[in-house]
Amino acid sequence: MYEYQRLREFTEAVFVKMGCTAEDASLAGDVLLSADLRGIDSHGVARLIGYVRLWESERINPQPDIKVIHETPSTAVVDGDRGLGLVVAPKAMKIAMEKAEKVGTGWVSVKNSNHFGIAGYHAMMALEHDMTGMAMTNASPLVAPTFSRERLLGTNPIAMAFPTAKEPPFVADFATTTAANGKLEILQREEKDAPEGWVQSKEGEASTSPYEVKNGGALLPLGGDRVHGSHKGYCLGSIVDILSAVFSGANYGPWAPPFVSFLPLADNPVGEGLGHFLGAMRVDAFRPKEEFKVHMDQWIRRFRSASPVEGQEQVYIPGDPERAMEVERRKSGIPLNEKVVKDLTSLARKFDIAL
């Protein structure tokens, strides 16, 4: 087990070595470690070496000039200047919240950014201001649309967070695929097969190999196949791609830049970098704030009290498992896979930082 604060300090030190300001390194570390705390190990410090490699290949600008290039009272387009998505997205979310404070809602589409960690972090920023938050991003094209053999979409996650009165907030954070690519990376490290419905081979055939994507295959949209509703996952992923990239001027579909540095960028880009879409809605733009929060509590309590199926203790609401995991990991530490430890050790040597 690794203590949260020690990992946080190490992560921040790596970002500083990359050339980030102390303030941006702290923000990036906060976003990255929030994934580990919440049990989303695929998007935490396991990704740190990937960001370093992107920086080494000059695809990440450690000190970006993040700016609004177009706006209305309730909307904006932000150019991330190739910055860390871990930094660009929270700053764009802040702009969305500032607009929501003034006119009720705020919506920001971002171009020229990079991988932004877990979507839930950015959505939850709105909770402190009694706002509902939304965050989504397009990603590396690893997903085959229903009936396609080609990889045209990313895992394109969606997150929404709703404030409450006394209950913990409702936080939904999910990929629009049956599983995120990071889950395959975890299975590879653990030498386990993937469940059915996660991936297909390059010929479009069902597979359980966690290496299928590396071998030219594809992740599958939420649902797995047409019979189980993969066309709905395909629709959700497409909506994220359009809001994040077609709105902003980022690369969309198969032109979205890959997270791994060794894969080439598209020869004919249709935009700049990756795209994100952030939104904030002031609760009292719809109904009195306290009234809404009391009813959110009631909604949560009723769903939690639903009769569970046999063998299940209770029905959870979105955010419950991650919240419980965060409490446990803050107390007991964060477990790291041997391969992740090996990667972090190599970074410690590279930058002369104690792990």
CA distance 332 to 224: 36
Q: Quote the pLDDT of residue 265.
A: 87
Rounded to two decimals, what is the model's pTM? 0.95
Rounded Cα gap, residues 92 and 300, in angstroms = 29
SS (H, E, C) the chain: CECHHHHHHHHHHHHHHCCCCHHHHHHHHHHHHHHHHCCCHHHCHHHHHHHHHHHHCCCCCCCCCCEEEEECCCEEEEECCCCCHHHHHHHHHHHHHHHHHHHCEEEEEEEEECCCCCHHHHHHHHHHHCEEEEEEECCCCCECCCCCCCCCECCCCEEEEECCCCCCCEEEEECCECCCHHHHHHHHHHCCCCCCCCEECCCCCEECCCCCCCCCCEECECCCCHHHCHHHHHHHHHHHHHHHHHCCCCCCHHHCCCCCCCCCCCCCCCCCCEEEEEEEEEHHHCCCHHHHHHHHHHHHHHHHCCCCCCCCCCCCCCCHHHHHHHHHHHHHCECCCHHHHHHHHHHHHHHCCCC
Q: What is the pLDDT of residue 266?
A: 87
The alpha carbons of the chain give a radius of gyration, in whole angstroms, of 20
pLDDT of the residue at 260: 78
Q: Per-residue confidence of the chain (355 residues) as pLDDT tens digits? A: 999 999 999 999 999 999 999 999 999 999 999 999 999 998 999 999 999 999 999 999 999 999 999 999 999 999 999 999 999 999 999 999 999 999 999 999 999 999 999 999 999 999 999 999 999 999 999 999 999 999 999 999 999 999 999 999 999 999 999 988 878 888 988 889 999 999 999 999 999 999 999 899 999 999 999 999 999 999 999 999 999 999 999 999 999 999 877 778 888 999 999 999 999 999 999 999 999 999 999 999 999 999 999 999 999 999 999 999 999 999 999 999 899 999 999 999 999 999 8
Q: Cβ distance 134 to 185 under 8 Å? A: no
Q: What is the pLDDT of residue 150?
A: 96
46's tokens: 């396991």
pLDDT recorded at residue 183: 83
